[in-house]
Structure 1
Amino acid sequence: MSRVDRGGRPRDPANDASILDAALDLLIERGAAGASIEAIARRAGVAKLTVYRRWQSKEDLLMAALEHARSTDTDTPKTARSIDELVELIAELLSRPRFQALMARVIGASVDYPKLVNAYTTRYLQPRLSALADTAQQAIDDGRFPPDTDPNAIQDILASSIGIVLLRGEDMTAEQIEHRLRTLLRQMGYR
């Protein structure tokens, strides 16, 4: 993410938060194509120049908004220490309509905004997938899965849960999502 620092008077942190909130809201409501700098500035109640002083491009701003979302209502509240905790956290997160809408928009942006999706994958998704693989390996080592289980297969099942929820096209509760994930894991031999 490229932040622009051109000196001058100190930046107002409230403007930063307003801009990031507006960018995230518009990304969710209209997608990346509909989240113009002008619309973001208008929603945030600032001048376009205020936005451009902080971010060089719309992609930079949208990536900053995605990172900002991690610290607001779309991120998991803690890190899981086990597969069971991980399933609960994933189910709770995926049951949030705002998170579902955000993921649908991020996935949808992959054709027209590949840099945005690549940056999201690199900065946000890959570190979480690596942690997920570590948790999966620990479960294998603890005898919760058969010893020949591929931790990447566990990772793929849990990571694909986003698709499970989005493609079903229906509201799913955290309990329903958790039940589905546990069923899939049991099919892999999870005890």
Structure 2
Amino acid sequence: MTDDDGPSPPEQTGRTGRKRDHTRDAKILDATLDVLAEVGYSGMTMDMVAARAKAGKATVYRRWSSKGELVVDAIARMKYSKADAGNLPDTGTLRGDLLALYRPQTIEEGERTLRIMTALASMISTEHTFAEAADTALVKPWADAHLAFMRRAVDRGEIPATADIETLSRVVPTMAAYCALVQRRPFDREFLVTLVDGVIMPALHL
């Protein structure tokens, strides 16, 4: 799984109920990730993000009431890009689909991702109210993609309809988040294969 930037998530209203204008969002969220990677969560300010995005401070503050909220949305954009339900791989097998969603990163990309995840962990530890939102941004896009894969596998008769796909769809995304946030190490293909072959596929066929 990679954390490359991509298309913004579908139109949504923010946690305060305001309607979002995405005209400037992409640049601001990209700038947020850049600043996070460079200075961490404690060192980041919304003014720094505005300057990096070449956006007016008022533009940023109108969209996000706090830097915690801004970080959550930036992480959601980063994760959504490769787990877009409209652009999922279809290899013809569940195992193939699960592995095809993974994208290797360069050393530089991996280091940047870990810095961003370290910043996210710092945010969660100091602003507990964002823990659930961070889980939604970090885990849910991938869990939804895995659930879509598993539903397809059920439809084609590859796995039984009785399999607990709701639970199992969260295993790999949750472990990926654990690697990044707790162990502070990249989630690599070797570990993904171990999870898919040693945990997911056997559990689906029980």
- Per the shorter chain, which TM-score range? 0.5 to 0.7
Q: Closer, same or farther in 2 for the Cα pair 1:115/1:29, shift >3 Å?
A: farther
**In the alignment, is residue 105 of structure 1 matched against residue 119 of structure 2?**
yes
Structure 2 residue ranges without an equivalent (≥5): 1-13
Which amino acid in structure 1 is aligned with residue 103 of structure 2? Answer: E
Q: Closer, same or farther in 2 for the Cα pair 1:86/1:12, shift >3 Å?
A: closer
Which amino acid in structure 1 is aligned with residue 42 of structure 2? Answer: A
**Alignment partner, residue 37 of structure 2:** 28
C-alpha distance in 2, partners of 1:92/1:24? 19
**Alignment partner, residue 65 of structure 1:** 74
Q: Closer, same or farther in 2 for the Cα pair 1:28/1:186, shift >3 Å?
A: same
**Alignment partner, residue 103 of structure 2:** 92
The 5-angstrom pairing of residues 43-54 of structure 1 reads: 43-54=52-63
**Alignment partner, residue 132 of structure 1:** 146
Identity %: 22
C-alpha distance in 2, partners of 1:185/1:106? 28
Q: Closer, same or farther in 2 for the Cα pair 1:149/1:46, shift >3 Å?
A: closer
Structure 1 contact 87–181 (Cα < 8 Å) conserved: no
Which amino acid in structure 1 is aligned with residue 52 of structure 2? Answer: R
Structure 1 residue ranges without an equivalent (≥5): 6-10
Q: Closer, same or farther in 2 for the Cα pair 1:171/1:66, shift >3 Å?
A: closer
C-alpha distance in 2, partners of 1:53/1:105? 23
C-alpha distance in 2, partners of 1:56/1:157? 33
Structure 2 contact 31–52 (Cα < 8 Å) conserved: yes
Which amino acid in structure 2 is aligned with residue 188 of structure 1? Answer: P
**Alignment partner, residue 4 of structure 2:** none
**Alignment partner, residue 134 of structure 2:** 120
User: What SS does the corresponding residue of 1:92 show, helix, strand or coil?
Assistant: coil
- Given the two structures, how large is their TM-score scaled by the length of structure 2? 0.61
Q: Closer, same or farther in 2 for the Cα pair 1:45/1:3, shift >3 Å?
A: farther
Alpha-carbon shift at residue 160 of structure 1 (Å) = 3.4
User: What SS does the corresponding residue of 1:188 show, helix, strand or coil?
Assistant: helix
Question: In the TM superposition, what whole-angstrom CA distance separates every residue of 1:92-142 from its partner, at most 9, and x where no partner exists?
Answer: 268862445444433443211333332233466336435534544664676
C-alpha distance in 2, partners of 1:165/1:61? 23
C-alpha distance in 1, partners of 2:203/2:183? 25
Alpha-carbon shift at residue 85 of structure 1 (Å) = 0.3
C-alpha distance in 2, partners of 1:171/1:124? 14
Structure 2 contact 164–204 (Cα < 8 Å) conserved: no
User: What SS does the corresponding residue of 1:111 show, helix, strand or coil?
Assistant: helix
* CA RMSD in angstroms, aligned pairs only: 4.1
Structure 2 contact 165–204 (Cα < 8 Å) conserved: no
Q: Closer, same or farther in 2 for the Cα pair 1:178/1:117, shift >3 Å?
A: same
C-alpha distance in 2, partners of 1:184/1:103? 26
The 5-angstrom pairing of residues 142-181 of structure 1 reads: 144=158, 150-152=164-166, 154-163=168-177, 165-166=179-180, 173-174=188-189, 176-181=190-195
Structure 2 contact 142–173 (Cα < 8 Å) conserved: no
